[in-house]
Structure 1
Amino acid sequence: MLYDGPPLMDGNISLAAIRPADLEECLTDPIVRHSLTWADRATSDPSMLYFGILRSEVLVGQIFLHDRHMNEALVGYHLFTAANRGQGIGTTALRLLQRHVTDHLDLQRLIVITSADNVPSQRLALRCGFTFVGSPREDPTGLLYDWKISDF
């Protein structure tokens, strides 16, 4: 499902409702265009909760919950351009999502799965209180981090 509430804000970073069509204009790179699949999936998948990440009201990324079941969900996040990485945007976005989950959803655990070579994503998870658990069943070459809602 696409988020449809008021923006969640921290300074000039917000998580907000967007439509897949909103992504079309900012995703000119063919590799990044793959991001559209998550927004498209969210339009019909009730296990998802999809937000756009905005900096100063400009769409710069996406963050979402997916595969929600048994009081847990996986988290996906992506800043669309390298120019927006390394500035705390992802950290702020993930913390906003954690706050939203804590306040509004009946979940007990969030999970982040990264590739072993995606060190920035691993650092982001650790900065936001996620704990390294090991390799996920689905991808033995990946790394799994979890965050228990009671830890927030």
Structure 2
Amino acid sequence: MIRGQAIQLRTVRETDLDRLYPLLTNIATRGDFVPLRIPSEPVFKRQFQETGFWTEDEGRMLIVTPEDDIVGSIWYFKPIHYFDGFEIGYTTFDPQQRGRGIMTEALSLFADYLFQSRNIHRVQLIIAEGNIASEKVAQKCGFTYEGTSRQAMFRSGHYLEMKWYSLLRDEVDACLPHRLFSS
């Protein structure tokens, strides 16, 4: 478990599955920029049984309150096999929790954890154009804008531009507002 000031990050437990699946698949509360694809419940549970949603190349943690209420999820995956790093995705399940700094703290702690636990040089975010809140989170966590991929994601009947942000290993000390360990 990774403890922050307002939230904690922890791996998914089998007892979370019946609460987590409806949260991940509720299109109404996912936000306007989360891809609409959802797994079937049997596939979702089988993936958990096979990996616990945690391997060397991909993993998911829950963002929980100190009382262990699930408020979001954050995950990493290998975007391109020859990249020396991971892409991070995240979502807040309850729209009432958005805009309160939860995701800034979660992303900061998670990125720091990945750099401390893996021999990688970069983490990246790919954010749909128009997702101002997510761009603010990236900027608060010290990620640098790298460019835009044109019409890279299809959602809600049209293509979206996707903005690339990255954080390099040698930028962590100066950039991340929340750290696992103080320097």
Q: TM-score range by the shorter chain?
A: 0.7 to 0.9
> In structure 2, do the counterparts of structure 1 residues 35 and 23 end up closer, same or farther at CA, with 3 Å as the change threshold?
farther
> In structure 2, do the counterparts of structure 1 residues 67 and 94 end up closer, same or farther at CA, with 3 Å as the change threshold?
same
1:103 to 116, 122, 128: 116
Question: Bigger radius of gyration, 1 or 2?
Answer: 2
Range with greater deviation from structure 2 (17-26 or 51-60): 17-26
TM-score by length of 1: 0.81
Whether the 8 Å contact between 1:20 and 1:36 is mirrored in structure 2 is no
Give 1:138 deviation, angstroms: 8.2
Asked if 1:18 is matched to 2:12, the reply is yes
Give the partner amino acid of 1:63: I
**What do the CA deviations read for 1:43-71 (whole angstroms, capped 9, x no partner)?**
37742121011122211110011125432
Range with greater deviation from structure 2 (102-111 or 19-28): 19-28
- Give the whole-Å Cα distance in 1 for the aligned partners of 2:54 and 2:110: 18
Aligned residue for 1:85?
A: 98
- Give the whole-Å Cα distance in 2 for the aligned partners of 1:20 and 1:76: 22
- Give the whole-Å Cα distance in 2 for the aligned partners of 1:138 and 1:48: 25
Aligned residue for 1:4?
A: none
Aligned pairs, number:
145
- Give the whole-Å Cα distance in 1 for the aligned partners of 2:64 and 2:127: 23
Asked if 1:9 is matched to 2:22, the reply is no
Percent identical across equivalent pairs? 25
Where 2:134 maps in the other structure, the secondary structure is helix
Whether the 8 Å contact between 1:131 and 1:146 is mirrored in structure 2 is yes
Give the partner amino acid of 2:61: F
> In structure 2, do the counterparts of structure 1 residues 132 and 20 end up closer, same or farther at CA, with 3 Å as the change threshold?
farther
Q: What are the residue-to-residue correspondences of 1:1-152 with 2, within 5 Å?
A: 7-19=1-13, 22-25=16-19, 27=22, 30-31=26-27, 32=29, 37=39, 40=44, 43=51, 46=55, 47-56=57-66, 57-67=68-78, 69=81, 70-136=83-149, 139=152, 141-152=161-172
Where 1:73 maps in the other structure, the secondary structure is strand
Whether the 8 Å contact between 1:23 and 1:36 is mirrored in structure 2 is no
Give the partner amino acid of 2:8: S
Structure 1 residue ranges without an equivalent (≥5):
1-6
- Give the whole-Å Cα distance in 2 for the aligned partners of 1:67 and 1:16: 20
Give the partner amino acid of 2:4: D
Give the partner amino acid of 1:142: M
Give 1:101 deviation, angstroms: 1.4
Give the partner amino acid of 1:120: A
- Two-structure CA RMSD over aligned residues (Å): 2.8
Give the partner amino acid of 2:165: Y
Give 1:130 deviation, angstroms: 0.3
